Amino acid sequence: MFNGQTLLVTGGTGSFGHDFIRLALSQHNPERVIVYSRDEKKQHDMRLEFDDPRLAFVIGDVRDRNQLIMAMREVDYVFHAAALKQVPSCEFFPMEAVLTNVMGTNNVLDAAEINGVKKMVVLSTDKAVYPINAMGQTKALMEKLTLARSKQETTKTVFCGVRYGNVMYSRGSVIPLFVKQITSGAPLTITDPHMTRLLLPLAEAVRLVTFAMENGEQGDIFVRKAVATTVHTLAKAMLNLFQAKNRIEIVGVRAGEKLHEILVSAEELTRAADCGEYYRVHCQREQNYDEYFVRGLVSETIAREGYTSENAPQLSVRETEDLLLELPEIHHDLQRWLPGGLTRRRAA
């Protein structure tokens, strides 16, 4: 669907944007892909790495509404990935999270609608479901802004979104931390041995967003089904892969952290459609104020539980190892750490 089209990716120099743009350029033949971000160094590196005339770069912040409107002229599809994503940063500076994740998203929605963009996909997180920290709360508001915009009868742009948990080996995630601790001889620090996390490779996150762009209707939120494991199992799998003997140290649950990831709430699961590898959460009803203030639907019930890392299929240590070995970053780290890399590990 992107052949001959113009795409714009906010936060396009991040982990998701980098891989998504590579996929778009190699498999979908767009006419132009615009990278919209604040980081000129990453844009320069990306320009040299890709060396593709279809790639264009715009320096700008999602907080700047006018710059977004100019950047989106003649754009067909928008992927909104720009955000403040680190939980501690948002806890310490919640107003900055509001300005980027909430006000910034509203600016992107405005610019897309003003320019007649065909479809816009926003990228959300499990932390937006029953949020307990500032990052999750601002992402939940980002979703609400998108859903409210999708209900406007006059809009010609389709607004939808995706939601996923921590992407494996993404910046700030636990796997690169474990690699650093293993190679430095430090203990592997885990919060709670029973804490569970969904395991989603970056390539699957990219495919989720592409699926949403191809299939999303007004107000849809798509969730990729995934396998899960405990952080203790993940730590043991990493030690096995690297043939390391580091001890595992339990440091306790940190502020703003959940024991289990929740990707679809119990309330949402009632109206979610099972699309095989994905859940499609439909927008809640029409813009009818009576349904919010006066009456409900007798047929609408609430599920006992949502879709979480606790009730997703759980991997064993060996199965976790096999999944980790699908990551090119792990192969790269093993090659540097073990003489002979993966070959020696397999022989062992």
Mean pLDDT across 159-168: 91
Within a domain: 116: yes
- Residue 252 within any structural domain of the chain: no
Q: What is the CATH number of the domain that holds 53?
A: 3.40.50.720
pLDDT band at 165 (very low <50, low <70, confident <90, very high): confident
Give the range of the structural domain holding residue 83, as residue numbers without chain letter: 6-164
Integer angstrom CA distances of residue 263 from 202, 240, 341? 17, 29, 35
Q: Residue 136 falls within a domain, yes or no?
A: yes
Tell me the pLDDT tens digit for each residue of 1-15: 799 999 999 999 998
Residue at 109 is within a domain:
yes
- Which candidate in 41, 42, 119, 127 is catalytic? 127
Describe the crossing of helices 202-215 and 15-27 by its angle, rounded to 10 degrees: 60
Residue 129 covered by a domain = yes
**For the segment 90-134, what is each residue's pLDDT rounded down to a tens digit?**
999 999 999 999 999 999 999 999 999 999 999 999 999 999 999
Whether 319 is covered by a domain: the verdict is no
How far is the C-alpha of 136 from the C-alpha of 258, rounded, in Å? 11
46 falls within a domain: yes
Rounded to whole angstroms, the Cα distance separating 232 from 113 reads 46
Give strand ranges (E) for 49-103.
55-59, 77-80
- Whole-number Å distance between alpha carbons of 198 and 212: 20
Tell me, yes or no, whether 190 lies in a domain. Answer: no
pTM of the complete model? 0.89
Mean pLDDT of the chain: 90
> Who has greater pLDDT, 186 or 345?
186
Cα–Cα dist 158/76, whole Å: 11
Confidence at 248, pLDDT banded by 50, 70, 90: very high
> What total of structural domains would you count in the chain?
1
Clarify whether 236 is annotated catalytic: no
41-78 confidence digits (pLDDT tens): 999 999 999 999 999 999 999 999 999 999 999 999 99
